[in-house]
Amino acid sequence: MNALEEVYRIARAQTLIALCSTVPGYWFTVALIDRIGRFAIQLMGFFFMTVFMFALAIPYEHWTHKDNRIGFVALYSLIFFFANFGPNATTFVVPAEIFPARFRSTCHGISSAAGKLGAIVGAFGFLYLAQNKDKSKADAGYPAGIGVKNSLLLLGVVNILGFCFTFLVPEANGKSLEEMSGENEEEAGTSVELEQSHSYNIIYSFFSL
């Protein structure tokens, strides 16, 4: 197989996976995000990504047999589906809603940058970690890694961490940006202080006569 044919086959497979899992995942998010909420979608996404990641990793030798390729692709596609019907979508939506207005642009930018950095580290890190433990069997130009099975297990652990950290994220569904940032409470508090100050000034002026 020459390089062009290999690239064509990989591109065809990734396109099919995108059409069958990635794109529908976004559709489900758009349809349900205001019904079941950001928190539930992100929690569910991390949970099922963990389940399917371990389902690939633990019996990995089983999936390496030619007869089991369809099952491997099905689980692989489900991971992508719940990535997009989950944290891959909510991590774009939530940062735009939960930060106070005066910090929103800056904090959203920091969140986006952290997400892009995580994507780069994940993509390149997996490429290196998934190499064979025996350096002689690793791809040319790459050092020995921990193997595909252990790399998938590591990704499953990362998903568990994402699941746990989701409990620290407030639910923004059905709330205005002012409610999420507490700006209404601040304005109400300021109004009360101004009214009290005005009352004190009137009383002080009365007794000063």
pLDDT digits 0-9 by tens, 44-63 = 999 999 999 999 999 988 88
Check residue 159 and give its pLDDT: 93
Q: Are 151 and 125 in contact (CB under 8 A)?
A: no
Q: How far apart are CA 89 and CA 44, in angstroms?
A: 12
What's this model's pTM, rounded to 2 decimal places?
A: 0.76
Q: What is the mean pLDDT of the chain?
A: 81
pLDDT of 25 > 50? The answer is yes
Q: Are 111 and 92 in contact (CB under 8 A)?
A: no
CA contacts within 13 A on the Cβ side of 60 = 12
Q: Are 106 and 91 in contact (CB under 8 A)?
A: no
CA diameter of the chain? 100
Q: How far is CA 85 from CA 45, 148, 150, in A?
A: 6, 25, 25
DSSP class of residue 131 equals S
Fold exhibited by the domain 3-175: Growth Hormone; Chain: A; (1.20.1250)
Structural domain spans, the chain? 3-175, 177-209
Give 1's pLDDT tier (boundaries 50, 70, 90). low
Q: Are 177 and 105 in contact (CB under 8 A)?
A: no
pLDDT digits 0-9 by tens, 80-111 = 999 999 998 888 888 888 887 788 888 888 98
Residues contacting 17, CB < 8 A, separation 6+: 73, 76, 77, 80
